[in-house]
Amino acid sequence: MDRHLSLSQAARLIGVKRTDIQKKIQENKLKVMEGTVVLSDLKIAFPDAVYEDNTMVEKMEKFMKDAVHKMAQSEREGAHIDSLSRRLVKISKELADERTRAEHMEELIDSMKQKFLELKIHPEQDNRFNEIKSWFNTAVQSLEEEKLTTPVESLKNQIKQFMLPHVRLLPSRHDYISDKSETLLESALRSGLAVDYGCNNGKCGKCKAKLLSGKVEQTVHQDYVFSESDKSQGYILTCSNTAITDITLETEEAVSSDDIPLQTVIAKVKKTQQINDDVMILTLKTPRSQRLRFLAGQHIELTLDIKEGNQKPIIAEYSIASCPCEPANLEFHIPIRADEPFANAVRDNLKSSDSFTLKGPHGSFVLNEDSPNSLIFVAWDTGFAPIKSLIEHAMSLEQAENIHLYWMTTKVENHYLDNLCRSWNDALDNFTYTRIMCEAKTDVVADSLMKHLHDEHSHLLNFDLYIAAPGHLNHLLKPLLISHGIKSQNMHFESIFHGDEIQD
């Protein structure tokens, strides 16, 4: 039996990048038919990779033979393959319910933390209270650290990934794996695809898509009522269904910031983290029924409603530092400056019960997903926020052959997520991280960056470049970069609002 595999499945199976497979196809060393390759052709095109991972391939083949044998046996016994799928869907529903319960528990824990902080305690009860508080904090911390993956789980995940239904979207021809414990919408977002959606709750109908082939099963209640015409054409809600076979869906995806509507979303404080004297990381949680739809690299207006006294709401605009593949949690990097009331309020007055009103998103500093080029990212200081979002998005799409990040600041401690960048550098063979420190003067910063680019990239012809830095530095860099070979349409600039100033 020869198995047809999507490019993502093939890449996962033999442990290479998707772009390696695309390269073989372009070189006519691997045949592709309607976006799939055949396992035997894959072994010929990647003899070494298959050899190295031979046990895995053999396991897969044996697993599949056994599965086919069991299916045939099971049919002889009168069972139908659909019943297996239905059992899987039932388990998935239970998992989805558990996930919702876990989200509620998380909110409950957050509220309890807040209650502890607000509790007025009699001095005689201090010791007992502190004991309970410390026990509670340790218990919460160990819960958060319990996300370990053992090698056995990792193998199970690989097999699971391989066998999970595969979703193809038309007309984009994007594809992704649908985890049966998630809805089609959740899996698409986690894979970095900007599909349309609204309530995430089966009510608004914005996530509707036409099922062109394959089977789905509803796992979440939906109130939206389809017209007879929609029903006859096979429309489904992606936020309420999961795939039980490989499927093809017709649906629109956002390709530019113009395709993302302006939204107003109320978000709660999930976490604040003072990274150093100059930067705080604020994480906000959006409700399940009101996720913020945005593209990586965009920014948003935040209004903080202070609950105490007669203080007026404080408004500021920040780039979103997290990836759209994590729509529940939004991350912001807040530079602390004496003259910025928003930053000071976040540092000094914020309570976990406070909420923010988010309006947006804005900005067109977004990834050109159609480009086959490698990527260079340059961040000045907290310009790292939109760059982080873009990098995480590019990683989830697995589209770029190489990614190089230059993070520039005046001093070593201003690389406030240095460990994260190093871990990308260590874990990904196509990722390079260069840390640059220099004086905060426009010409010095520009010279320093250009020197690195000259030394590390002989030309920039096949690169897309994304720079988040103060406007006057961007202005100076443009002609220098063009003289180093980059096409102007491949340069993307974001003028950062906050962060370390650079002198002219």
Interacting residues toward ligand FES by CB under 6 A: 197-207, 224, 237, 239
| Max CA pair span of the chain | 80
Name the minimum Å distance from CB 202 to ligand FES.
5
Q: β-strands 491-495, 463-469: how paired? A: parallel
As measured in angstroms, the least distance from the Cβ of 299 to ligand FES is 24
7, 18, 68, 459 from 12: Cα distances, Å? 9, 8, 22, 32
Nearer to ligand FES, 167 or 314 (CB): 167
Closer of 199 and 480 to ligand FES (Cβ) = 199
If residue 265 lies in a helix (H) or strand (E), which one and from where to where?
A: strand 263-274
For 279, how many CA atoms within 13 A lie in the half-sphere containing its CB? 18
Shortest CB 239 distance to ligand FES, Å = 3
Answer whether 331's CB lies under 8 Å from 320's CB: yes
What residues have CB less than 8 Å from 156, skipping those under 6 apart? none
Closest CA to 385 of 217, 232, 498: 498
CB of 323 to ligand FES, least distance (A): 19
Q: Got the DSSP string for 460-474? A: -TTEEEEEEE-HHHH
Nearer to ligand FES, 200 or 474 (CB): 200
Nearer to ligand FES, 208 or 498 (CB): 208
Least separation in angstroms between residue 211's CB and ligand FES is 14
Q: Tokens 């600041």 identify what position?
A: 409
Cβ contacts of 271 within 8 Å, gap of 6 or more: 281, 282, 283
Angle formed by the axes of helices 18-26 and 7-14, to 10°?
110
Kindly tell me the number of DSSP H helices and DSSP E strands found in the chain.
Answer: 15, 20
* Helix or strand (DSSP H, E) at 386: helix 384-397
CB-nearer residue toward ligand FES: 208 or 492: 208
What own/partner pairs with CB < 8 Å and gap ≥ 24 does 66-70 have? 68/1
Q: How far is the CB of 104 from ligand FES (least distance, A)?
A: 20
CB nearer ligand FES, residue 195 or residue 376: 195
If we measure between CA atoms, which residue out of 289, 196, 300, 315 comes closest to residue 250? 196
Rounded Cα–Cα distance for residues 102 and 452 (Å): 47
Of 193 and 207, the one with the shorter C-beta distance to ligand FES is 207
Fill in the amino acid letter for 182: E
To ligand FES, the closest distance from the beta carbon of 216 in angstroms equals 13
CA dihedral sign, ordered 314, 318, 321, 322? positive
Judged by beta carbon, residue 249 or residue 336, the one nearer ligand FES is 249
Q: H or E stretch including 271?
A: strand 263-274
Q: Retrieve residue 388's tokens.
A: 């982080």
CB 90, min distance to ligand FES, A: 22
List the structure tokens of 248. 């093809």
- C-beta of residue 207 within 8 angstroms of C-beta of residue 239: yes
Q: In angstroms, what is the minimal distance from the CB of 262 to ligand FES?
A: 17
DSSP state of 33: B
- Give the shortest CB-178-to-ligand FES separation in angstroms: 16
Least Å from the CB of residue 185 to ligand FES:
7
